[in-house]
A and B are shown apart, each in its own frame.
Chain A
Amino acid sequence: MATAEFSPVQDTQRPLAIEARGLVKRFDSTLAVDGVDISIPAGAIYGILGPNGAGKTTTLRMLLGIIDPDDGYRRVLGADDPQDVARRIGYLPEERVLYPSMKCYEAIAFMGALRGLPLPEGRERGKELLEAHGLGHAIDKQIRQLSKGMAQTVQLLGTLVHEPKLVVFDEPFSGLDAINQGKLEVLIRGLADKGTTVIFSTHVIAHAERLCEGIAIIAGGKVPFAGRVDDARDRIPAQVRLETRNSDGPWRAALPTDARRVGDFWNFALPESGVEPLLKALIEGDAGIQSLSIERAGLHDAFVAIAGEAAARDMVTQDTGDSA
C-alpha cells in the first residue's frame, strides 16, 4: 500500500511538526492519495510538489483534519487529531475568499476568532497588520471594495493573525504577480526565521527550489520522493557540459552512449567513475578541451527523474499558465 519512499530530513534533531504514515484517501472508486509518508521538522519550509490532480490538496486537507484519511495516521504538532491543535495552525486555501461585506480588519479578526483569538484583540491586530503591510488606507473598507491582490493579502494576514506555529499554504503563489510573489517569498522566509513551520503546495518548481529545505513530490496520489531538496537533486548524477576543439577522434570513446550534442556542446551525465578518468581519457584522446563544466542537477531535472516526464510536462505547462 505505502509506495512512498520515506526520506526524512535528517540533518537535525529537531522535533517533527508533522509526521504522516501511509495516508490513504478514496473518493468513491477513485484512489486520490495512496500511501503518503511525510515527515516535516519544526521550523522548516517544506514544499509539496505535483501537478493538478496529483493529490496535493487532499493530502493537505488530511493533514489539517478537514477530511479524515481512510487509512494511515498523521500527527500534527504532537496531536493525533489536527483539530486539537487548530488554534496553532494557519491555513490559506487555494481558493482565496472572504465574506465580501466584511470590513478588512473585521475579516482578519474573524479568521483569528476561528482560531481562538478574542475578537477585540483580533481587531486590534488586524489594524496593526494592515498598517504594517501597506493597507492602512483599507482598514475600514469592505472586502468587496478591494482589488483581488489586496483581498488576497487580507486573507493572508487573517491566516497569520493568531501567530500560528504551523502555516499551511495551498498554492500560495497562484494568481500573484511577480512582485507579490517575491513579497510572499520574503514573508515565508521571515516566518521560518521566527521558528514557524511553513508548508506550501505548488506546481512551480522554482519557488520550491528557492525556498524549501525539504519537499515531497506527489504524482498520481503517491509520493515517490520525500526529503531534502539536495537529496532530490542527488537522485540524478551531475551534468557535464563539454566543448572541444576537435569534432572527432579517439576521445569520443570516453563519452557515454547517451551523450547529446546541442550546438557546440556535448551534454551528458557524469559517469559513476567520476571526473578524473573522464578528463584523462579526453586529454589522451586529443579532444582539445575548450571548456568543461560540471553542474549539479536542478530540481526540475530531479523532478523529471523522480516523477516522470508526463508529470513534469504538466508542471511546466501550469507554471507558464498560472504564474506571472
Chain B
Amino acid sequence: MSQSAVRDGGRLSMWRAAWVIARRDFTAILLSKTFIFFLLGPLFPVVVMGLAGGVGAQVQSEASVADVGIAMQSEDVDAMLAAHRELSTQIRGSLPPMVDLKRLAPGESFDARSVLEEGEGSLAAIVTGTLDAPVLTATQGRVARWQGTVGLIAGHARDGVSRTYPPVSTAVVGTSGAAENSGRLRTAQGGQVLLFLLIMLLASMVLSNLVEEKGNKIIEVLAAAVPMDAVFMGKLFAMLGVSVVGIAVWGSTGAAILYAGGQSLSDFANPGVGWPIFFALFALYFAMGYLLLGSIFLAVGSLAATVREVQTLSMPATMFQILVFFFASLAVTDRGGVIEYTAMAFPLSSPFAMVARAAAEEELWPHLLALGWQALWVAIFIHAGATLFRKRVMQSGPRGAVRSSPLKALSGMFRNSSTPSA
C-alpha cells in the first residue's frame, strides 16, 4: 500500500474534518431521489403565504398609511382639516388621512407633481388650489378613488350646510412616496416570509439528519475519528450548501417565470438598497439566520434520542422562532421605533428585521453593523451548540444503555455527563 497523508498521524484540522463531513452530507442529499421534493418545497410556502395574506394585509394597512397633503392658503388649509375632522366622525374609515403640507401665501404657487415624484414621506396625493376649485394630484388609481372625496371635503369646508360640491381638477403623476413605500413594504414582507420559511425548512432537515444518524449510531463512527465540533460544523454547512443550490434553482425558475410572463424586476418596487445589493444581503441574512437557528436545532437534536423526543423538544424552539418572525414582521410597522431597533438587535430576529430594512431604506452602513453583530452571535451559538452537542450526542450506547430523559439532559447540559453503555 502506498504512503499517504495519514503517515504523519496527527489530527485533522477542524475545518478539514468539517469539510469531510459536509462533503458527504452535501452529495448524499443532492444525489438522493428525495431532493426533488426539497426543490418542490417552495410550492407549499406559496400556499402558506396565501393563507397568511390576511395577516400581511393587516400589517400593510397599518404600515402603509397614505396621506393626502394640503397645500393651500392658510385659511383654506384650516377649513379643509376641520371639514375632514368633522366628516371623519360621520364616515370614519372612508377618508384618507389629511395633513397640513404647506400654507401658501397669496399668489404663491406649489409644484405638487415634483413633490410627489420625489417620493419623500408617505404622501399619496396633494390637494392644491382653492376651496372653490381644488386640484388633486396623485397617481391614476388614487385620483379615481379620491376625486369625489376631495370634492366632498372641499364643499363641506366651503359651506358646512351646502349640498353643492366644487369640481375637482386632477393631475396624474407616475408615482408617489406612498406608492414607493407600499411596494417596498411588500418586498420587505415577501423577503421576511421567504427567509423564515427557508430557514425553518432547512433547520428541520438538519435536525432530522442528525437524529437519524444518532439513532443508527453512525455518529459514533464519526465521533471516534474527528472532533464532535467538526461533525456539528460539517452538518450545518452541508445543509447551507444544499440550501444555496435550492435557492439558485428557485431563483432561476422564478426569474424565468417572470421573464416568460413579460415582467422584469423593474416592474416591482425598487428595494431601498437596489436589487443587486438586496439579493446579496438576502443571501447573507439567510446564511446568518440559518446558522443561528440551525445551531439551536442541532443542539436540540443532541439532547434527543428518538424522533418523538425531537418533535417534543423542537416544538418550543419552532414556536419561539415563529414568535420571533412575527416580532420582526411587526417591526416593519414601526420604522425607526423601539420595536424595529429591538428586532434588529435581538440576534434571532435581526436577519428578518434587516432584510425588511434593506427593502425599505437606502443606507448600507446599518447592514455592515448588523452583519458583524450577527456573525458574532453565529460564532457564539455555534460554539455553544457544538459544546452541548459534544457533551450529549454520545448519550445512548449500544443495547442495554441507560438513557437520560431530555429534561434531565437539559438540566445537566453544562455538566460533563453522558450515558453509560456496555
Which A residues are within 8 Å of any B CB, using their own CB? 25-28, 30, 32, 52-58, 61, 64-68, 70, 77, 83-89, 91, 93-95, 97-99, 101-102, 110-118, 121, 125, 162-163, 165, 170-171
Contacts and interface: CB of A to CB of B under 8 A. Distances in A.
B419 A66 contact: no
A163 B398 CA distance: 26
A65 B20 CA distance: 19
18 contacts: A27-B417, A52-B422, A61-B421, A66-B224, A66-B394, A84-B10, A87-B12, A91-B225, A93-B398, A101-B31, A102-B28, A111-B225, A114-B12, A114-B20, A121-B2, A162-B4, A163-B4, A170-B398
Given A67-B418, A87-B10, A101 B220 contact: no
Given A28-B404, A52-B422, A86-B12, A118 B394 contact: no
Q: Is the interface of B mostly helix, strand, loop or mixed?
A: loop
Contacts of A112: 6
Contact of A66 (B10, B223, B398): B223
Closest 9 A-B residue pairs measured CB to CB?
A32-B420, A95-B217, A114-B225, A88-B9, A52-B422, A91-B224, A57-B421, A27-B420, A94-B398
A110 B12 CA distance: 14
Nearest to A51: B422
Interface of B: 1-2, 4-6, 8-12, 17, 20, 24, 28, 31-32, 216-218, 220-227, 394, 397-400, 402, 404, 408, 412, 416-422
B418 A113 contact: no
B2, B221, B224 — which one has the most chain A CB atoms within 10 A of its CB?
A: B224
A171 B399 CA distance: 12
B218 A116 contact: no
Given A101-B28, A117-B5, A91 B221 contact: yes
Contacts of A89: 224
A152 B2 CA distance: 25
A64 to B, nearest CB: 5
A86 B422 contact: no
A111 B422 CA distance: 24
Given A52-B400, A171-B398, 15 more contacts: A27-B402, A32-B420, A54-B422, A55-B420, A65-B224, A66-B220, A66-B223, A87-B12, A88-B9, A95-B398, A98-B218, A115-B6, A116-B4, A117-B5, A163-B6
A101 B8 CA distance: 31
A121 B4 contact: yes
B140 to A, nearest CB: 58
Contacts of B417: 26-28
A99 B2 contact: no
A173 B8 CA distance: 31
A70 B421 contact: no
Contact of B397 (A57, A85, A115, A163): A57
A52 B397 CA distance: 11
A315 to B, nearest CB: 12
B389 to A, nearest CB: 13
A87 B217 contact: no
Nearest to B33: A101
Nearest to A113: B20
